[in-house]
Chains A and B, each alone.
Chain A
Amino acid sequence: MINDKNSQKIVDILQNWARKHSLFVLAYGTGCGAIEIPPTMTSRYDAERFGIRGAATPRQADVLLITGYLTTKTLKRVIRVYEQMQDPKYVIGFGSCTINGGMYYDSYNTIKVLDKYLPVDVYINGCMPRPESVISGIVKLQSLIAEGKANGAAKYKENLDWYRANQKKIIPNWVMPEYNW
């Protein structure tokens, strides 16, 4: 009865509902997009009414919000932060720079396509995306979670070798702990 498939389904629905309504966001403010987070959280756009809350450390966070371009140097830290987060975890790529490089398409030290290095669940387009689009991106993520489709972490775990190969290609000096959970 307890391990019955249908009861597991009910638990999943309940858990997905809770996850959807309580997203702890770790905003990794590497690029210019970090400036869009304060208006999103404060009184004008008030993301807290969706249950969104800032998390200060990766251990407590559910969503990694990557705001803007990632240099090869910060990519290393972002991977570290992402791997420290606990399941279930989601990644939101924020701004054109994470999608196709944006205005840094020919820069020698920023990566162009984020989803080759980390499993991105939702992309938010724009340079910079306004708080409305940030909120719509988060609502999109919520609907994905409710449908059980936001499974980037599982994808990362399955294809870890492929992601690692891509990461090591631009980070030759790889000194990081094993990812084993």
Chain B
Amino acid sequence: MEKIKSNLIEAIKGTYPDAREQDHEGNRLDFYVKKQCVPSILNYIKGEGYIHLSHIAFVDWIEEGEFELIYIVWSPKDKIKIFIRARVDRENPLMPNIESIWRQANTYQREAREMYGIQFEGFEAPNEFVLEDWNEIPPMRRDFDTQAYAEETFFHRPGREDAMDVREAIIERSREEIPDFAKKYSR
């Protein structure tokens, strides 16, 4: 497996010198690439036997002003999954369309367009995917405040304002310290 991995890294870095690899233990291998290279890299590794597009995941790096798209590809022959990671500008998120490589990418791209507002070049699909009559900013973006939206849109039954924060109750009972990073999320 290590040999297959190093061969793959060599081949990809030979063609795309600015691709950066990150080797994980086991059967996982990550590549950080430029967004223009994504279709050609996917095309290449599909020819190498990585025929299954497991998923396209999306991450909103709001602090860096970027979205990250992670194409997870699996080879049933080598038993290795490759993560192709590409970043795109948050203000103008335009990604290359990979629908011609894998047709099932259509579903993921529709989801990305609706939930994150990421656009794809020459991508044609019905406008609504899961949401209906949605007029706000895409709801999975981190600058969308879902609690404020919910409080404004829906009726709420009074009586859960004093609901105990479970974490604080547990800590009080067992006299533990809250770690600093967790305090930010505690109510």
Q: Do chains A and B touch in the complex (CB under 8 A)?
A: yes
Residues of A within 8 A of B (CB): 72-73, 76, 99-101, 105-109, 111-113, 116, 166, 169-173
Partner of A112, one of B133, B135, B157: B157
Given A72-B132, A73-B132, A173-B133, also A107-B146 (CB < 8 A): yes
For the A-B complex with A100-B160, A108-B149 known, give 13 more contacts whose Cβ atoms are closer than 8 Å. A72-B132, A73-B130, A99-B157, A101-B150, A101-B156, A105-B160, A107-B146, A108-B150, A109-B131, A112-B156, A116-B155, A166-B155, A173-B133
Partner of B131, one of A73, A107, A113, A171: A73
- Interface residue count for B (Cβ, 8 Å)? 19
Please report the C-alpha to C-alpha distance between residue A180 and residue B115 in the assembled complex, in whole angstroms.
38
> Which residue in chain B gives the minimum CB-CB distance to A100?
B157
Please report the C-alpha to C-alpha distance between residue A167 and residue B179 in the assembled complex, in whole angstroms.
44
A113 B157 Cβ-Cβ under 8 A: yes
> Which residue in chain A gives the minimum CB-CB distance to B148?
A106
User: How does the 8 Å CB contact mask read for B151-182 relative to A, with 1 for contact and 0 for none?
Assistant: 00111110110000000000000000000000
Please report the C-alpha to C-alpha distance between residue A113 and residue B146 in the assembled complex, in whole angstroms.
17
Partner of B146, one of A72, A100, A108, A169: A108
Tell me, rounded to whole Å, the shortest Cβ–Cβ distance linking A7 to chain B.
43
Tell me, rounded to whole Å, the shortest Cβ–Cβ distance linking A155 to chain B.
17
> Which residue in chain A gives the minimum CB-CB distance to B130?
A73
Tell me, rounded to whole Å, the shortest Cβ–Cβ distance linking A162 to chain B.
12
Q: Does B147 lie at the interface of the complex (its beta carbon under 8 Å from any beta carbon of A)? A: yes
Measured between beta carbons, the chain B residues less than 8 angstroms from A106 are 146-147, 150
Measured between beta carbons, the chain A residues less than 8 angstroms from B136 are 108
Tell me, rounded to whole Å, the shortest Cβ–Cβ distance linking A38 to chain B.
27
Measured between beta carbons, the chain A residues less than 8 angstroms from B133 are 171-173
Please report the C-alpha to C-alpha distance between residue A39 and residue B156 in the assembled complex, in whole angstroms.
32
Given A73-B131, A173-B132, A173-B133, also A108-B156 (CB < 8 A): no
Please report the C-alpha to C-alpha distance between residue A106 and residue B132 in the assembled complex, in whole angstroms.
18
Tell me, rounded to whole Å, the shortest Cβ–Cβ distance linking A159 to chain B.
15
Partner of A108, one of B139, B155, B159: B139
A100 B147 Cβ-Cβ under 8 A: no
A112 B150 Cβ-Cβ under 8 A: yes
Partner of A170, one of B130, B146, B153: B153
A105 B132 Cβ-Cβ under 8 A: no
A113 B155 Cβ-Cβ under 8 A: yes
